[in-house]
Amino acid sequence: MVEQLKKEMEDISQMKKGRLVVGSMPITGSTILPFVLPAFQAAYPDIQISLVEETSSNLESLTSNGQTDISLLSLPLREDSLVYETLLEEEIVLAVPPLHPLASSNEPIRIDQLAKEDLSR
């Protein structure tokens, strides 16, 4: 039994066997993971992957508490105990109707400009 436990621990540490709990926001779960998980599963067929979809702030807590092994989150993080690596940076665009006052701007729109806009309809 001790030898079996030792072997299982060795397999997990060498990514041969075990369970990996991945936390993801719904958007990354539907756009990024479909490309990543099949390749991972092909390379490590004996690793069972469990997916937890939550908000970024809930995933921070789950990861900090050890309920997920890794999580795909959005910055900034509020949990100081987490170590992270930026995987990608996303450009977010603002779409407005052609006659909207911001549509005529040739410069990037700053977030403080949006604070002055009435975006409700």
Average pLDDT, the chain: 83
Residue 72 has phi, psi (to 5 degrees) of: -95, 115
Task: Give the tens place of pLDDT for each residue, 46-80.
Answer: 889 999 999 999 999 999 999 999 898 888 899 88
CA distances to 12, 33, 80 from 68, rounded to whole Å, are 15, 15, 16
* Count helices and strands in the chain by DSSP H and E runs: 5, 3
Is residue 116 classed as helix, strand or coil in its secondary structure?
coil
The pLDDT of residue 94 is 81
Average pLDDT over residues 32-58: 89
Angle CA 14–11–84, to nearest 5: 45
Task: Give the tens place of pLDDT for each residue, 78-110.
Answer: 988 999 888 878 787 888 888 888 888 888 888
